[in-house]
Amino acid sequence: MAAAKQDPHVIGPDIYPQMLGRADAARAMMTLRSPAALTRAQAAMETCKGPMRKAILQYVEDLEAAGGDSARVYEKVHDIRGFAETVGMVTTGRIAESLCRYMDDMERAGRPVDATILALHVAAIARAARAEEGDQEIGEMVAAELAVLVARRLSEIERG
């Protein structure tokens, strides 16, 4: 016989002890907002950019290798979306974001992703990631056109 289901016991936030008192919290916020903290954070980010770019380029290779496997594509493009803009690969991140949203919307609609839209996005992400330092203007134009294509496809689905 199964045990009776019990209602969860909710613990109010006022029961937990505070990690920092008001004075310590104010001091911590001043420290975090200081120019020295900003300088150290920027230096840490610069140190991480190279390895993060390499990781993103590996994700791009994995993305290309995924072919039409939409589950693998989603997994890799989601990772790319999360990291690309952090290291200055803005166009790459924007295109990855567009593809993630498209795939999410198609899943919610209970429809399969369009293989052509998937392939166009993957190719654009790969090209943008590898040429990010160069021609951002063309990359932005491609990202905008892909967003229009996705919007048109989604509106077609909504109309039935």
- Scanning the structure block, which residue is given the tokens 């613990």? 11
Phi-psi region of 40 (alpha: psi -120 to 50; beta: other; left: phi over 0): alpha
Fold of 51-159: Four Helix Bundle (Hemerythrin (Met), subunit A) (1.20.120)
Is the predicted pLDDT of residue 1 greater than 60, yes or no?
Answer: no
* Residue whose structure tokens are 């390499």: 54
Cβ neighbours for 115, distance < 8 A, ≥ 6 positions apart:
68
> CB under 8 Å to 70, separation ≥6 — which residues?
103, 112, 113, 118
What does pLDDT average to over the chain?
86
Lowest pLDDT segment from 19-23, 45-49, 95-99, 133-137: 133-137
pTM above 0.95, yes or no: no
Q: Encoding tokens for residue 153? A: 């496809």
Cα–Cα distance, 23 to 29 (Å, whole number):
10
Query: What is the pLDDT, as a whole number, of residue 66?
Result: 93
Say what the pLDDT of residue 24 is.
87
Q: What's the pLDDT tens digit per position in 64-114?
A: 999 889 999 999 999 999 889 888 898 999 999 999 999 999 999 999 999
Between 67 and 58, where is the model more confident?
58
High-pLDDT (> 70) share of the chain, %:
94
pLDDT at residue number 12: 79
Contacts of 86 (CB under 8 A, 6+ apart): 45, 52
